């Protein structure tokens, strides 16, 4: 099947978020975990490749995204989307800007847009400043993120040190005038040599305007929501087969496990609420893991009734995360936890778990890699940007949900388990 849009996501929860929003169109979306080794076959109109490169060294992220681009080109895609976090998570070195520049160069294009807005999840952009709910990004809980603390809310200032060419803005006043005004503003910026354009959006209507204005750009970049209108726009333009069947989720056994490595404020609330329901829960402490390994977590898991969906979590408040990072280093603390949760996922699968709920993008990357999952089919959305997905791991059909740190209601874990 022709691929209309080739998407590259910088983490695994971000990729399921994007795939879930594209799938709202009813058109088939295929999500590949990492760049497939085999050349494209059995492709969908919307292909998403999930990478784990949000916090990778810049050179590594550029190489991986270029490989993904080549695969998507081979699949026939002519337009591309670079998906990063709706809270613009990146280190001062990158990787959002350097990857965008590398993709632009490979595609021979001089301009792209940056629109991480996701109004349904409270992310809006006004005058180039990103808000999380009513708080500027740098005053939101994102200031304490374990890997990418966000200490500035201005997207132009965040992007400038990451790119070599000029950065500009199309503001909300222009977006409010419609797609032609956005196109004209982009063209005017283009004549001034502005390659990287942040575009304001505060509501889904703004995203529809922006998508309409930018749908023919070789490369768009942003959060998932600005891509959401694209399937309908491409379908309306004609030429897209209507016969592609929507994915029909399989029945999976009830046995489940919940694995949480996200330390976001929302995941902290979700863990607390799930424990309050009486669910069995085990807290992992990075310092203890560093000293003793994760054997005792596996022993605990082996003693659990998986029909009660036990929770294993390293989720902690910012002070506890800081203490662990001071003792072990930021990257090492993260890795130890990711390895432990990945080992728990494998053990749970081998013990019969067929529904696995994972919280956190890096954590999801570690878990899906451990499970050897290379492709996910997109099922029902549990919360905006968090669908159930289905895959095969060691011959077992599994339902997997990869929850972005900040997404979902406080009742998310129960909500998820009630819906698959
Ligand atoms: N108690 C802890 N102390 C230090 N680091 C931790 C702790 N618990 C988890 N981590 C690490 O923090 C990181 C959390 O990142 P992750 O991407 O999984 O969650 P997130 O950023 O909230 O999710 P998303 O990227 O979807 O928004 C992981 O590397 C995880 O291993
Ligand atoms: O855009 C978001 O907020 C999420 O899809 C994400 O990328 C979390 O890692």
pLDDT per residue as tens digits for the range 222-235? 999 999 999 999 98
Q: Could you tell me where the DSSP H helices lie in 93-229?
A: 96-107, 155-159, 172-175, 179-191, 204-214
pLDDT at 241 (0 to 100): 60
In angstroms, what is the C-alpha Rg of the chain?
A: 21
Mean pLDDT, range 348-371, rounded to an integer = 96
CA 354 vs CA 295, 343, 357, 380: distances in Å: 22, 15, 10, 16
Asked whether the predicted pLDDT for residue 45 surpasses 80, the reply is yes
The Å distance, Cα 360 to ligand 1 centre, comes to 6
pLDDT at 239 (0 to 100): 63
Q: Which atom of ligand 1 is nearest to the CA of 314?
A: 8
Helix (H) or strand (E) holding 253: none
Q: Which atom of ligand 2 is nearest to the CA of 18?
A: 5
Helix (H) or strand (E) holding 26: none
- Phi then psi for 318, rounded to 5 degrees? -55, -35
What percent of the chain lies above the pLDDT cut of 90?
Answer: 87
Alpha-carbon gap, residue 159 to 125, rounded angstroms: 14
pLDDT band for position 39 (cuts 50, 70, 90)? very high
Q: Which atom of ligand 1 is nearest to the CA of 263?
A: 22
Asked whether the predicted pLDDT for residue 245 surpasses 70, the reply is no
Asked whether the predicted pLDDT for residue 110 surpasses 60, the reply is yes
CA 222 vs CA 41, 87, 112, 233: distances in Å: 27, 10, 10, 17
pLDDT band for position 242 (cuts 50, 70, 90)? low
Compute the mean pLDDT over every residue in the chain, rounded to the nearest whole number. Answer: 95
Q: What is the pLDDT of residues 149-200, one digit of tens each?
A: 999 999 999 999 999 999 999 999 999 999 999 999 999 999 999 999 999 9
Higher pLDDT, 219 or 379: 219
Mean pLDDT, range 4-9, rounded to an integer = 96
pLDDT at 207 (0 to 100): 98
**Hey, is 331 helix, strand or coil?**
helix
The Å distance, Cα 265 to ligand 2 centre, comes to 14
pLDDT at 230 (0 to 100): 96
Instruction: Quote the ipTM score.
Output: 0.97
Alpha-carbon gap, residue 40 to 71, rounded angstroms: 7
CA 179 vs CA 120, 141, 170, 233, 367: distances in Å: 21, 34, 12, 13, 41
Q: Whose CA is nearest to atom 25 of ligand 1?
A: 361
Q: What is the pLDDT of residues 258-313, one digit of tens each?
A: 999 999 999 999 999 999 999 999 999 999 999 999 999 999 999 999 999 999 99
pLDDT at 316 (0 to 100): 97
pLDDT at 276 (0 to 100): 98
Alpha-carbon gap, residue 85 to 47, rounded angstroms: 18
The Å distance, Cα 263 to ligand 1 centre, comes to 5
In 3D, which of 2, 55, 9 has the Cα closest to residue 376?
9
What percent of the chain lies above the pLDDT cut of 70?
Answer: 98
Q: CB neighbours of 31 closer than 8 A, spacing ≥ 6?
A: 15, 16, 19, 48, 49, 50, 375, 376, 377, 378, 389
Q: Whose CA is nearest to atom 29 of ligand 1?
A: 334
Q: CB under 6 Å to ligand 2: residues?
A: 11, 13-14, 17, 85-87, 118, 223-224, 361, 385, 404
pLDDT band for position 148 (cuts 50, 70, 90)? confident
Q: Whose CA is nearest to atom 3 of ligand 2?
A: 86
Asked whether the predicted pLDDT for residue 244 surpasses 60, the reply is no
Mean pLDDT, range 122-127, rounded to an integer = 98
pLDDT at 246 (0 to 100): 64
Alpha-carbon gap, residue 25 to 52, rounded angstroms: 26
Cβ of 17 less than 6 Å from ligand 1: no
CA 92 vs CA 97, 149, 158: distances in Å: 10, 10, 7
Count helices and strands in the chain by DSSP H and E runs: 15, 18
**Hey, is 214 helix, strand or coil?**
helix
Give this prediction's pTM: 0.92
pLDDT at 28 (0 to 100): 86
pLDDT at 144 (0 to 100): 86
Is 189 within 8 Å of 105 (Cβ atoms)?
no
Which ligand is located closest to the Cα atom of residue 367?
1
Q: Which atom of ligand 2 is nearest to the CA of 16?
A: 5
Handedness of CA 267, 270, 275, 281 (dihedral sign): negative
Q: What is the pLDDT of residues 14-33, one digit of tens each?
A: 999 999 999 999 888 999 99
The Å distance, Cα 223 to ligand 2 centre, comes to 7
Given ligand 1 and candidates 96, 263, 282, which is best to mutate, with the most ligand atoms within 8 Å of its CB? 263
């Amino acid at each position: 099947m022709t691929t209309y849009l080739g998407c590259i996501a910088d983490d695994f929860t971000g990729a399921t978020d994007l795939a879930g929003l594209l799938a709202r169109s009813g058109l088939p979306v295929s999500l590949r975990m990492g760049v497939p080794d085999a050349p494209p076959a059995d492709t969908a109109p919307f292909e998403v490749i999930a990478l784990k490169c949000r916090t990778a060294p810049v050179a590594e992220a550029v190489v991986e995204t270029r490989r993904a681009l080549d695969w998507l080109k081979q699949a026939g895609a002519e337009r591309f989307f670079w998906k990063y976090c709706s809270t613009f998570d990146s280190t001062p070195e990158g990787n959002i800007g350097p990857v965008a520049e590398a993709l632009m160069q490979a595609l021979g294009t001089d301009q792209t847009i940056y629109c991480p807005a996701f109004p349904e999840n409270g992310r809006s952009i006004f005058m180039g400043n990103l808000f999380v709910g009513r708080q500027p990004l740098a005053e939101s809980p994102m200031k304490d993120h374990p890997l990418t603390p966000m200490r500035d809310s201005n997207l132009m200032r965040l992007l400038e040190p990451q790119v070599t060419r000029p950065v500009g803005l199309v503001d909300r006043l222009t977006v409010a005038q419609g797609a032609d005004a956005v196109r004209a503003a982009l063209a005017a910026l283009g004549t001034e040599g502005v390659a990287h354009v942040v575009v304001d959006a505060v509501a889904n209507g703004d995203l529809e305007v922006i998508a309409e204005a930018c749908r023919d750009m070789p490369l768009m970049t942003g959060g998932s929501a600005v891509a959401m209108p694209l399937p309908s726009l491409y379908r309306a333009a004609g030429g897209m087969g209507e016969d592609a069947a929507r994915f029909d989720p399989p029945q999976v056994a009830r046995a489940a496990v919940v694995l949480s490595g996200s330390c976001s404020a929302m995941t902290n609330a979700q863990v607390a609420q799930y424990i309050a329901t009486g669910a069995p829960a085990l807290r992992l402490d990075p310092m203890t893991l560093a000293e003793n390994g994760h054997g005792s977590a596996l022993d605990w898991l082996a003693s659990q009734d998986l029909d009660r969906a036990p929770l294993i979590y390293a989720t902690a408040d910012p002070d506890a995360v800081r203490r662990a990072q001071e003792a072990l280093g930021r990257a090492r603390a993260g890795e130890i936890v990711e390895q432990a949760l990945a080992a728990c996922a494998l053990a749970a699968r081998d013990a019969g778990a067929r529904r696995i709920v994972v919280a956190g993008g890096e954590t999801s990357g570690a878990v899906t890699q451990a499970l050897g999952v290379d492709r996910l089919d997109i099922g029902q959305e549990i919360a905006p940007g968090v669908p159930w997905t289905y895959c095969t791991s060691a011959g077992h059909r599994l339902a997997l949900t990869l929850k972005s740190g900040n997404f979902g209601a406080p009742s998310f874990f129960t909500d998820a388990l009630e819906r698959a």
